[in-house]
Amino acid sequence: MLGYLRLPTMVFWKKKPKASDTPQGESIGEHGSGRESDSGEFLTGDILEDQRRSESLLEEAGSIAERVVRLKGENDLDELLTYIVDASIKRTGSDRGMLILDEGHENFTVRIARQRGGEDLRGDSRFSTSVVGKVLETGAPLKDIDSQAGDLGASVYDLKLRSVMCVPFHAEGTREIRGTLYVDSKAATREFGASDLAYFSRLSTQIVSALKNMAAHLAAIEQAKIEESLDNASIVQKNLMPQIPKDFSGYDVFGWYRAAERTSGDFYDFFKTRDGRFGVVVGDVTGHGPASALITSQAQASLRSTVRVVPDLCEAVSSVNQDIADRVEVGNFVTLFVALLSEGGAVEVVNAGHTPPVIYNKQTGEVRRISAHGPALGMMADFEFIESDRFELGVGDVMLAFTDGITEARHPDRPDDLLGEEGLERLMLQQVGVVEEASDLTERVIAGVIEFCSDTCEDDMTMVAVRRTD
């Protein structure tokens, strides 16, 4: 499809030609004068003819606008563009019409080619490259009726054309696109004059305006589809988030997350292993949005399936690392913290490049961090995790795992002031002795984070709290 039709801005490119150009082809204006058209050239002075011309323009503008409104997507563009070229042929009484794109370096592409009668162009599809090149060079509408006029008339003469009219359009946006609307005739009785060129230029102005409206219309349709897709992706991701478990004896757990966009690159998970242990996972994929959400689902599924069949935690994480490295592009990775809890309070954890979780000891009131045992998953495909931490959670002890979106929360009035790990620990210590349930602790700590950053979410945020109950 036409790339330029998706651009946010499309305008009719019109520039006054140089005086030296006029002997070779006539721009809108008096013959040989080089003066741009005024309303006098479009209006002939004949009341009935001028009324017919004005009504014709209004009718065409209305028809094009109606077709723009009916557009449902890019598949409808060919039909509209074909209608535009057909209208140009009909309204100017030409034999042929084309929509021609400038590919640069004097290379032209015919996007639409039609002939009188509303049919696709049959036979010779050549056109006056000299006329098209001159129009693109000067940015001015042009007609050529002098087939002996030097270089500009050469191709006109070779193609046995009696008359040619060509007007430019210019599209600006993510990339610049230029092109022309072109009509010609071989009929000896059809020779375009200055008033024809003025009329054709005004018709092309309406066409370019319609293309601009069409671009906006299609952009709105596409944006609506994107919004719907993101909404659906967000719903799917929320449904993939696990239910908070209530059936694991001796522990109270809670999970919370908030996406910076519709979808999140963060995730948490809970599951049971074959040997009866309870798994807690917090992960963070590079970036955020739909692409990260896709990697998130892959990492989550890979870890679940692997840990359930591989009893050794280090071996399981190493296997997931290899799997993710094979799936994601270079530069993408997943930080991961996974803990396996036993009913008696024994805990085994592996930290793969993740923000260090914190452990609160109720007896001493102290907090310690769990450092990384290796790089983030996907960074080094052959890395083998051989170390893990083993410790015991006493009754009332709390383990808090989270992503860097929380510790990197930024103060709105002090851009260099991040919450940091120490700031999060302070929030935790302020609440851990006041509330008992993991859900209350999590929500109060998060409330402190939100207050610190004035509810400005630059990155995905996730937190899981685990409290030993008995």
Does 121 share its domain with 187?
yes
Could you give the CA distance from residue 25 to residue 32 in angstroms, rounded to a whole number?
8
Domain range for 86 is 3-224
Torsion of CA 109, 112, 116, 121, to 10 degrees: 70
User: Which of 460, 463, 456, 461 has its CA nearest to residue 288?
Assistant: 460
Could you give the CA distance from residue 398 to residue 394 in angstroms, rounded to a whole number?
9
Give the predicted TM-score (pTM) of the model: 0.55
Residues linked to residue 350 through DSSP beta bridges, in sequence order? 338
The tokens of 437 are what?
């349930």
Q: What is the pLDDT of residue 74?
A: 58
Is 279 part of a structural domain of the chain?
A: yes
Does 142 share its domain with 270?
no
- Cβ atoms of residues 445 and 427 within 8 Å: yes
Does 313 share its domain with 410?
yes
CATH of the domain at 117: 3.30.450.40
| Nearest-10 crossing angle of helices 194-240, 290-309 | 30
Could you give the CA distance from residue 192 to residue 226 in angstroms, rounded to a whole number?
47
Is 395 part of a structural domain of the chain?
A: yes
Domain boundary among 193, 224, 255: 224
Is 229 part of a structural domain of the chain?
A: no
Q: What is the pLDDT of residue 146?
A: 47
Q: What is the pLDDT of residue 370?
A: 95
Bin 287: left if φ > 0, else alpha if -120 < ψ < 50, else beta.
left
User: Which of 342, 383, 384, 349 has its CA nearest to residue 369?
Assistant: 349
Is 235 part of a structural domain of the chain?
A: no
Is the confidence at residue 184, as pLDDT, over 70?
yes
Does 306 share its domain with 274?
yes
CATH of the domain at 399: 3.60.40.10
The single-letter code of the amino acid at 367 is: V
Is the confidence at residue 41, as pLDDT, over 60?
no
Q: What is the pLDDT of residue 13?
A: 37
By percentage, how much of the chain surpasses pLDDT 90?
30
In this predicted model, which residue has the larger pLDDT, 45 or 392? 392
Instruction: Specify the number of domains making up the chain.
Output: 2
Does 169 share its domain with 30?
yes
Is 343 part of a structural domain of the chain?
A: yes
Query: Mean pLDDT across the stretch 284-305?
Result: 70
Instruction: Give 388's contacts (C-beta < 8 A, 6+ positions apart).
Output: 313, 314, 348, 349, 350, 373
Is the confidence at residue 206, as pLDDT, over 80?
no
Is the confidence at residue 328, as pLDDT, over 60?
yes
Domain boundary among 224, 253, 274: 224
Is 34 part of a structural domain of the chain?
A: yes
The most distant pair of C-alpha atoms in the chain lies apart, rounded to whole Å, by 104
DSSP for 367-421?
EEE---SBPPBTT-TT------EEEEPPTT-EEEEE-HHHHT-B-SS-TT-B-HH
Is the confidence at residue 362, as pLDDT, over 70?
yes
Does 219 share its domain with 247?
no
Does 10 share its domain with 121?
yes
Where residue 339 falls among pLDDT bands split at 50, 70, 90?
Answer: very high
Does 139 share its domain with 26?
yes
Q: What is the pLDDT of residues 422-443, one digit of tens each?
A: 999 999 999 998 898 999 999 9
346-352: strand order across its sheet: 266-272, 278-285, 334-341, 346-352, 389-392
Where residue 387 falls among pLDDT bands split at 50, 70, 90?
Answer: very high
Residue 355 DSSP code: P
Does 401 share its domain with 305?
yes
Average predicted confidence (pLDDT) for the chain: 77
The tokens of 271 are what?
């599951």
Residues linked to residue 28 through DSSP beta bridges, in sequence order? none
- Cβ atoms of residues 285 and 313 within 8 Å: no
Q: Buried (b) or exposed (e) across 209-234, using 16+ Cβ within 10 A? A: bbbbbbbebbeeeeeeeeeeebeebb
The single-letter code of the amino acid at 100 is: I
Q: What is the pLDDT of residue 21?
A: 40
Q: What is the pLDDT of residue 134?
A: 87
* 3-class SS shares of the chain: helix, strand, coil, % to 5: 40, 25, 35
Is the confidence at residue 171, as pLDDT, over 70?
no
User: Which of 159, 156, 177 has its CA nearest to residue 168?
Assistant: 177
Is 192 part of a structural domain of the chain?
A: yes
Does 317 share its domain with 351?
yes
Does 201 share its domain with 287?
no
Is 232 part of a structural domain of the chain?
A: no
Where residue 241 falls among pLDDT bands split at 50, 70, 90?
Answer: low
Any idea how long the chain is?
470
Could you give the CA distance from residue 268 to residue 283 in angstroms, rounded to a whole number?
6
Does 348 share its domain with 412?
yes
With residue 184 as reference, give the H or E element that holds it.
strand 177-185
Q: What is the pLDDT of residue 170?
A: 74
Q: What is the number of H-type helices and E-type strands within the chain?
A: 11, 17
- CA distances, 159 to each of 76, 133, 186, 412 (Å): 33, 16, 9, 69
Could you give the CA distance from residue 52 to residue 282 in angstroms, rounded to a whole number?
73
Domain boundary among 224, 258, 288: 224
